[in-house]
Amino acid sequence: MCFTQNFWNFLVSGLADGFLYALVAIGYTLVYGVLQLINFAHSEVFMSGGFASLFILQAAIGSSQPHGIASVGFVALGVVGGGIGGALVAYLLERVAYRPLRRRNAPRLAFLISAIGASYFLYNLAGKEFGRNALEIPSPFVNGPVFTIFGATVQTYYIVIAIAAMAMLVLVDRVVAMTKLGKGIRAVAQDAETASLMGVNIDRVIAQTFVLGGLLGGAAGFLFGLNAGVVYTMGFTPALKAFTAAVLGGIGNIRGAMLGGLLLGIAENLPVGCVGTQWRDVVAFGILVVVLIFRPRGILGEQLGRAA
């Protein structure tokens, strides 16, 4: 009974969460593809995107309330600004926390620890500089019900997320499949040594991979912050879930990350009617543990990287 009640409402909010998880999950999956490493600091890329878009929109919108075509422009500005903020942090991360260790051929534990250090450094720096309270992004549009589907109200916010996320997901899928950059990423993921013998500049491809993941992660930080506000600790839980989504779909596999994100968003929201919102995170982590134990290669399988 509790499951079917409000089913459509939870499905709609689950899909919205799922799109955000998918965007962040691609950042994990791309980096995992080329380095076979979990980028523990990706949560801070997400947070940086939120703060970057906050500052840009504060300056651009001020205290006015945009309507119509201006709203579309400001959303685009927020997505681009958040994306650039995230990409910048992701690039710095690669230079400071990863590249020196890569040069030295350090053990894998060192990479994980260095990324954890970068994550703690960045989010506490944000807390120190921008304050420890949640800040509200000035709304670029008037939020309200647009239409109902099986009794579930669909808000403007959900439509904005769905359109922006779908556009970015299609774009990144095409970039990896069709461009020279995508070819480089796939070559490094399949066999880094051979790729370098064929003239692929591995350092540059890895940096570009971080930037690409950072663009999506930062934009997701903006879309998340529109509703939940921006705060220095905002990255931790969504990023952990996005990682779950990446594993669920098959890490290293871009379409897997998209599918995993959507599935996880829905799967963690549907039982909320039965167990209450406070257990939502436990459901998500429970899914992670179960997937890792029974199907560690995920639904679509590991693809981009060498099957490890």
Partner 1 sequence: MTGPEGTVGDALSGVHGSLLHPRVFGFIGFGLALWLAVSGRRRYAARVRALSDRVTSLPRRLLPDARVRAGVYLAVLGFAIAYPLALNSYWQEVLVDQIGVYVLLALGLNVVVGFAGLLDLGYIAFYAIGAYSVAYWSGSLPVHPPFHLDPFYAIPLAIVAAMLAGVLLGTPTLRLRGDYLAIVTLGFGEIIQIAATNMQGITGGAPGVVGIPHFKFELFGVHYAWGLSNLPYYYLLLGFVVLVLFAFRSLEHSRVGRAWVAIREDEVAAESAGINVLKYKVMAFAIGASTSGFAGVLEGSKISYIEPADFTVQLSILILVLVIFGGMGSLPGAVVGAAVLQWLPQYLRVHPLLGFQQQDLYLYLGALLIVMMIFRPEGILPSRRREREIGLAEHGIGRADAVGGTSGPIA
Strands (DSSP E) found in the chain:
145-149, 152-155
Q: Which is nearer to partner 1, 175 or 292 (CB)?
A: 292
Determine, following the binding rule CB under 8 A, whether residue 232 of this chain makes contact with partner 1. no
**The two structure tokens encoding residue 105:** 């051929």
Determine, following the binding rule CB under 8 A, whether residue 274 of this chain makes contact with partner 1. no
128 Cβ partners below 8 Å, 6+ apart? none
Determine, following the binding rule CB under 8 A, whether residue 206 of this chain makes contact with partner 1. yes
Out of 80, 92, 152, 159, point to the residue binding partner 1 (CB under 8 A).
92
129-188 binders of partner 1 (CB under 8 A): 129-132, 135, 138, 188
Out of 7, 8, 55, 91, point to the residue binding partner 1 (CB under 8 A).
55
Closest CA to 202 of 106, 102, 91: 102
Determine, following the binding rule CB under 8 A, whether residue 204 of this chain makes contact with partner 1. no
Determine, following the binding rule CB under 8 A, whether residue 108 of this chain makes contact with partner 1. yes
Amino acid letter at 213? G
Complete DSSP assignment for 152-175: EEEEHHHHHHHHHHHHHHHHHHHH
Determine, following the binding rule CB under 8 A, whether residue 99 of this chain makes contact with partner 1. yes
Candidate segments 14-22, 82-90, 127-135, 223-231, binder of partner 1 by CB under 8 A? 127-135
Determine, following the binding rule CB under 8 A, whether residue 264 of this chain makes contact with partner 1. no
CA dist list (Å): 248 to 122, 220, 233, 293: 27, 19, 24, 11
Which residue, chain included where needed, has tokens 């807390």?
127
Determine, following the binding rule CB under 8 A, whether residue 70 of this chain makes contact with partner 1. no
Determine, following the binding rule CB under 8 A, whether residue 288 of this chain makes contact with partner 1. yes
Helical H segments across 151-279, by residue range: 156-178, 180-190, 192-197, 202-228, 236-249, 254-269, 272-275
Candidate segments 35-43, 151-159, 215-223, 261-269, binder of partner 1 by CB under 8 A? 35-43
